Amino acid sequence: MANLLNTARKNVDLTGNSLEELQRFQEKFAADLKQHRDSERRFALPILLVFIVGFAAVFCSFLLFHPPATWLFVAGFVLIAIGLILIAVTATVFQKKLICPACRHSFMDEIDECCPACGSPSLEPKNWRGARHCNFCGKDLVSGKNRNFKYKACTHCGVLLDEKGL
């Protein structure tokens, strides 16, 4: 947290917030991030169990029964399909839950005015590759499937919120 505060001291002039406000935002975000990660873990085990039971049912239908037990084989594939649907639903639900405590925008949104790596508002428009260049930290920021940065700061207001990044 001390390293984040040192970085935040440099960021005070960029965001217009005092050091106390930045520290309060970081503490609020850290609590939200912990809750977000805990809720992701809470749903991971049941989904994993559905997959394991589904694969076990398919495997056992061939291993234990000759010819394979159709009902067990179908039940296994249904459980595997349910597991895939649950993964898609939980990924969608948890995707944009983190909110910046400073500006109340979604934290991991598309890159707006500020660099997600350093919080600086000195971003250039997208280049021909679809990347945005930050003049402050020198990074070329590519978002989407080939994302090459970690979200450390809000892209809307520039407040540094997480030292490790997401």
Question: What does the domain layout of the chain look like in residue ranges?
Answer: 2-101
What tokens appear for 38 in the block? 């805990």
Question: Whose structure tokens read 């399909």?
Answer: 81
Number of C-beta neighbours around residue 152 at 10 A: 19
Tens of pLDDT, residues 95-110: 557 888 888 888 777 8
- Structure-block tokens of residue 155: 């892209």
Per-residue pLDDT tens digits for 108-128: 778 888 888 888 888 888 777
A 10 A CB-CB count for 115 gives 26
Say what the pTM is. 0.61
What pLDDT digit, counting tens, does each position of 14-70 carry?
557 778 888 888 888 888 888 877 776 777 777 778 878 887 878 877 777 777 778
Encoded tokens for 20: 């106390």
29: Cα within 13 Å, side-chain hemisphere:
31
Residue 151 pLDDT greater than 80, yes or no? yes
- Tell me whether strands 140-141 and 132-133 are parallel, antiparallel or unpaired: antiparallel
